[in-house]
Amino acid sequence: MNSTFTQSAIAEWVTLLGEAGVVAASAEDFGASTTGTKRSIPAVLRPVNREQVAAVLQIAQRWHVAVYPVSTGNNWGYGSANPVEDGCVILDLSQLDRISDFDPEMGVVTVEPGVTQGALRDFLDSHEGNYLVPVTGAGPTCSIMGNALERGYGITPITDHFAAVTKIEAILPDGSLYQTPLSELGAAEVDGLFKWGLGPYLDGLFSQGNFGVVVKMTIVLAPVPETVTAFFFSTKNDANLEALVPTVRAVLRALGGSVVAVNLLNSQRMLSMMTPFPEDKAVDGVLPAHEIASLANNHGVSAWSGVGAIYASKEVARAARRTLRRLLGPVTDRLVFINRRKVGLARNIARVLPDRLATRVKGMADTLSGALQIMHGTPNDVALALAYWRSGTQPEPGQPKNPARDGCGLIWFAPLVPIRGKDVRSYINMIERICPQYGVNPLITLTTVNDRCFDSTVPLLFDRRDADATARANDCYRALCEAGQKEGFLPYRLNIDAMGILNTGGSAFSRLASQLKAAVDPNFILAPGRYVPRIKHSEV
């Protein structure tokens, strides 16, 4: 990239945004990443409204300087706030943080990029919004919009966060405004109630794409049900997995309206939430099988554990519990139901127990409370503790967790796996074979994204201070992608160093996506390389 052009563009951006709106000297600091990736970042731009976003892009076009938009930059495990390519100016949209057009009767709300899970929860609480926030385990500081555009998911209704998006407003690379046709024709309200709009569905281009900067998004919220009851189950015998997997599918099909998602976790994943990493027992960074078995026995952890929630009226919840006992009973060793009242009771009991037992019971109650909060649509950072298992410095009390800032090493491998016993076993074998070769412990979660498919999240945890460990973790990711491509287990989203997976040259998808990109962004100034491969101008 021409540095003279970049400096000329920065000078214009300073005039537009003011000195406070352009960070140049310490822009590299913005690029801290849990993956260990380092990018050259000439500047960070901080607009405060969509008009400034449009003007920023027009300046970028004039000087042919690439910009890379981020909502809050907290894309932990996928690159954080870093661009795909070096030399991109970061467009930090966190100050566009307004919430508007909340309809408490219909349950729709419009958010800007900087609206976080925590901010939406606070807004709904102060506006008597009896709705669930579409939470994830990434914590209260993460963007609602950013997660939806990456097609993230959660365990509360509505599980598919992009499915909840009904309309989008975006600034195109030339600075013009994109709106859905129903809104342009004067039917903005009904546009927010119906996802597909009128004519070709173009909103999808802005999801896992680089066709525009989304500045507003309307989403549907799930209403708070009469009851939320968590259920936990486990099996001590790993050989039961093939029977457990189709049972999970049967649960979702029988109780699809009230049980929307189920998580399965292997013993190492459970232990990562319950005990500090025993560095002294690891061999080349990996816990041997006998140490895992010993830790699991000490903490009462089974080979496989599962968790889900019932969202229903009291009458339906009672029937759902009976169905869960009937279906899960034959393939599990334990099935328990937990709600907030039972967690409160456990805390009261802990007060009268001996110190050591009291600490254990209280710790369990705190973990359950955090899990229940997420199930109730209230974000917290309980799940974010995972990022600190192998490295990182815990923040000061009262400070939010920030794995990128705090030095954590984390890369997410998140492939799709059919909900079939033999496929899940093949997938588990692949993970357990490859991860230890690179000093990575195979921590495995399988989360249902529908009644046919799991998304599995495998956190590749490593010591980010160790350059060799960082390189091995990134090599591990590539090895998993290569093996997954052969076996049919590919990720549903990619980190910034893995976009080449989509650059398959002669594929019809790559060709069409690149041609569309070239049509709206002929100078390739918007997030170059992100999901859409570059194309030569002669190929347009």
Q: Give 56-77 pLDDT, tens digit per residue.
A: 999 999 999 999 999 999 999 9
- What pLDDT, on the 0 to 100 scale, is given for residue 364? 63
Domain positions in the chain are: 3-92, 99-223, 227-338, 408-492, 503-539
User: 3-92 maps to which CATH number?
Assistant: 3.30.43.10
- What pLDDT, on the 0 to 100 scale, is given for residue 365? 61
Tokens of 462: 């490593």
CATH topology of domain 408-492: Vanillyl-alcohol Oxidase; Chain A, domain 3 (3.40.462)
Whether a cis peptide bond, with omega within 30° of 0, leads into 338 is no
Per-residue pLDDT of 412-462, as tens digits, reads 999 999 999 999 999 999 999 999 999 999 999 999 999 999 999 999 999
**271 in Cβ contact with 299 (< 8 Å):** yes
- What pLDDT, on the 0 to 100 scale, is given for residue 62? 96
Confidence of residue 36 (pLDDT cuts 50, 70, 90): very high
**402 in Cβ contact with 453 (< 8 Å):** no
**Cα dihedral angle (254, 317, 153, 129), rounded to 10 degrees?**
140
- Return the closest-CA partner of residue 443 out of 259, 301, 239: 301
Residue position matching structure tokens 């099996």:
235
Please report, for the chain, how many H helices and E strands are present, in that order: 15, 19
Say how far apart CA 120 and CA 378 lie, in whole Å.
10
β-bridge pairing 89-92 and 67-70:
parallel
- Please tell me the number of Cα atoms within 13 Å of 314 on its side-chain side: 0
**112 in Cβ contact with 145 (< 8 Å):** yes
Say how far apart CA 172 and CA 169 lie, in whole Å.
10
Say how far apart CA 521 and CA 174 lie, in whole Å.
7
Q: Does 227-338 match 99-223 at the fold level? A: no
- Residue 90, classed as helix, strand or coil, is strand
The CATH classification of domain 227-338, taken from the options 3.40.640.10, 3.40.462.10, 3.30.450.80, 3.30.565.10: 3.40.462.10
The CATH classification of domain 99-223, taken from the options 3.30.465.10, 2.60.40.10, 3.40.1190.20, 3.40.250.10: 3.30.465.10
160: DSSP letter: B
Average pLDDT estimate for 72-97: 96
